[in-house]
């Protein structure tokens, strides 16, 4: 268990203020926030690259705040490759294995065996003799991960590990990260500015705002029940469903069905079918009193469950079997005479539904 308690660090022009959170064993913890809110510095503080001005960090009950970086059993993977350019992929992965001092040195044979296992797990077996500068972005990120896992950390810290990758490598990496998390029962702290990464990977999410943590919770709590307006605006999606994308029935169309329990949505995507999530921003949902002809592919009848004034508009929650949130202007709410318990139609376009594969 990683426990971060009241960490503060002043890094003019910004600062981390009194940040606390806990990551228990085998959790996948995503720190979500805009660029420049101090996420990376927080990670570096946990890894030991930076000293906090105040606060303490515990790993498995042991205070590691002043522990040397090489003794922390915390590995850090950066956004851009930190593979050693003068070593082959093999030597890069073997590097932490050769550094082992206190828990038994490994023989050459043991090192070779372990490197080969890791290379296979991370699909880089064919690259072992290559030099890092010849690898693609996805390949070098996989080697970086293999190298980090080779150091057998208790906790793996990832700083924007997917941002510099193309779509295909990204989904490959996501699958790998999920596997590492499940197989090695390793706590992972993943820093990103992209909420889709949080949706598809996280078991728990912390949203950071200006050096503090605005909200911590599991994915549903954060996305469906944002505590503050900042969180709501930042994650920007109140409508968030887990389910399965169907294969297209006929070719030549990119409109697919996504089913989540009793709900079935029309989604515009070119992703292959499979398990995943869909998100619809509440701003993209319209409300009407009658079912009219519209270009929106998704139209549902339901009952208004709640009307919440929300800063710059009115949030209307409509129960259509599941709850759908719609953001409407106060004028529209008045014109439609919306009130709790009243029947209403919600509609949104298939192109407003964002699909995120698992």
Partner 1 sequence: MQDTKYQIRNTRYEPLSLAFAALGGLVLLFIVAPLASLFVNCSVPELAETAKDVGVRSSIWLTLWTSMAATMLFALAAIPFAYLLARKDFPLKGLVMAIIDLPIVIPHSAAGIALLGIVSKNGALGKTAAKMGFSFIGTPAGIMTAMAFVSIPYLLNSARDGFLAVPVRLEKAALSLGASPLRVFLTVSVPLAWRSILSGSILMWARGMSEFGAVLIIAYHPMITPVLIYERLGAFGLKYTRPTAVLFIVVCLVFLVVLRLLAGGKNNAQR
> What residue ranges bind partner 1 (CB under 8 A)?
47-49, 69-72, 74-76, 78, 82, 84-86, 95-96, 99-101, 133, 147-148, 150-151
In whole angstroms, the minimum distance from the beta carbon of 89 to partner 1 comes to 14
Q: Rank residues 45 and 298 by Cβ distance to partner 1 and give the closer one.
A: 45
Q: Rank residues 67 and 319 by Cβ distance to partner 1 and give the closer one.
A: 67
In whole angstroms, the minimum distance from the beta carbon of 193 to partner 1 comes to 20
Dist CA 69 CA 251 (whole Å): 54
In whole angstroms, the minimum distance from the beta carbon of 343 to partner 1 comes to 58
In whole angstroms, the minimum distance from the beta carbon of 9 to partner 1 comes to 17
In whole angstroms, the minimum distance from the beta carbon of 132 to partner 1 comes to 9
Structure tokens at 83: 């593979």
Q: Rank residues 85 and 330 by Cβ distance to partner 1 and give the closer one.
A: 85
Q: Rank residues 9 and 72 by Cβ distance to partner 1 and give the closer one.
A: 72
Contact 46, 74 (CB under 8 A): yes
User: DSSP for 282-323?
Assistant: GGG-EEESS----S-SEEEEEEEEEEEEETTEEEEEEESSSE
Token pair 């606060």 is at which residue?
Answer: 55
Q: Rank residues 70 and 113 by Cβ distance to partner 1 and give the closer one.
A: 70
DSSP bridge pairs for 257: 266
In whole angstroms, the minimum distance from the beta carbon of 21 to partner 1 comes to 20
Cα torsion through 102, 105, 110, 111, rounded to 10: 80
Dist CA 279 CA 259 (whole Å): 13
Token pair 């057998």 is at which residue?
Answer: 152
List the one residue out of 176, 126, 133 whose CA is nearest residue 156.
176
Q: Rank residues 14 and 78 by Cβ distance to partner 1 and give the closer one.
A: 78
Token pair 């992965």 is at which residue?
Answer: 93
Residue 129 burial by Cβ neighbours in a 10 Å radius (0-12, 13-18, 19+): exposed
In whole angstroms, the minimum distance from the beta carbon of 275 to partner 1 comes to 34
Q: Rank residues 14 and 95 by Cβ distance to partner 1 and give the closer one.
A: 95
Dist CA 21 CA 4 (whole Å): 5
């Amino acid at each position: 268990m990683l426990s971060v308690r009241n960490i503060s660090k002043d890094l003019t022009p910004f600062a981390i203020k009194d940040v606390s959170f806990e990551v228990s064993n085998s959790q996948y913890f995503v720190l979500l926030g805009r660029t420049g809110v101090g996420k990376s510095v927080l990670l570096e503080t946990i890894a030991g690259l930076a000293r906090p001005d105040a606060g303490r960090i515990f790993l498995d009950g042991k205070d590691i705040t002043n522990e040397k970086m090489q003794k922390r059993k915390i590995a850090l993977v950066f956004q851009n490759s930190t593979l050693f350019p003068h070593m082959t992929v093999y030597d890069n992965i073997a590097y932490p294995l050769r550094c082992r001092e206190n828990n038994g040195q490994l023989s050459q044979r043991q090192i070779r065996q372990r490197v080969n296992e890791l290379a296979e797990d991370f699909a880089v077996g064919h690259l072992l003799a290559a030099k890092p500068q010849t690898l693609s972005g996805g390949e070098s990120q996989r080697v970086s991960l293999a190298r980090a896992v080779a150091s057998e950390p208790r906790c793996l810290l990832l700083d924007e590990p997917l941002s510099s990758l193309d779509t295909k490598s990204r989904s490959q990496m996501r699958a790998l990260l999920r596997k590492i998390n499940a197989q090695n029962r390793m706590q992972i702290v993943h820093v990103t500015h992209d909420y889709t990464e949080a949706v598809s990977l996280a078991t728990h999410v912390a949203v950071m705002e200006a050096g503090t943590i605005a909200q911590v919770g599991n994915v549903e709590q954060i996305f469906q029940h944002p505590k503050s307006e900042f969180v709501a605006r930042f994650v920007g999606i109140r409508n968030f469903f887990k389910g399965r994308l169907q294969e297209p029935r006929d070719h030549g169309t990119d409109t697919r069905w996504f089913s989540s329990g009793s709900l079935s949505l029309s989604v515009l995507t070119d992703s292959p079918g499979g398990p995943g999530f869909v998100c619809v921003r509440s701003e993209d949902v319209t409300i009407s009193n009658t079912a009219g002809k519209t270009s929106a592919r998704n139209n549902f009848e339901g009952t208004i469950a709640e009307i919440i004034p929300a800063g710059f508009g009115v949030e209307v929650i409509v129960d259509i079997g599941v709850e759908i949130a719609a953001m409407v202007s106060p004028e529209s709410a008045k014109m439609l005479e919306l009130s709790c318990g009243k029947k209403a139609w919600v509609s949104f376009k298939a192109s407003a539904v964002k699909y995120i594969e698992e």
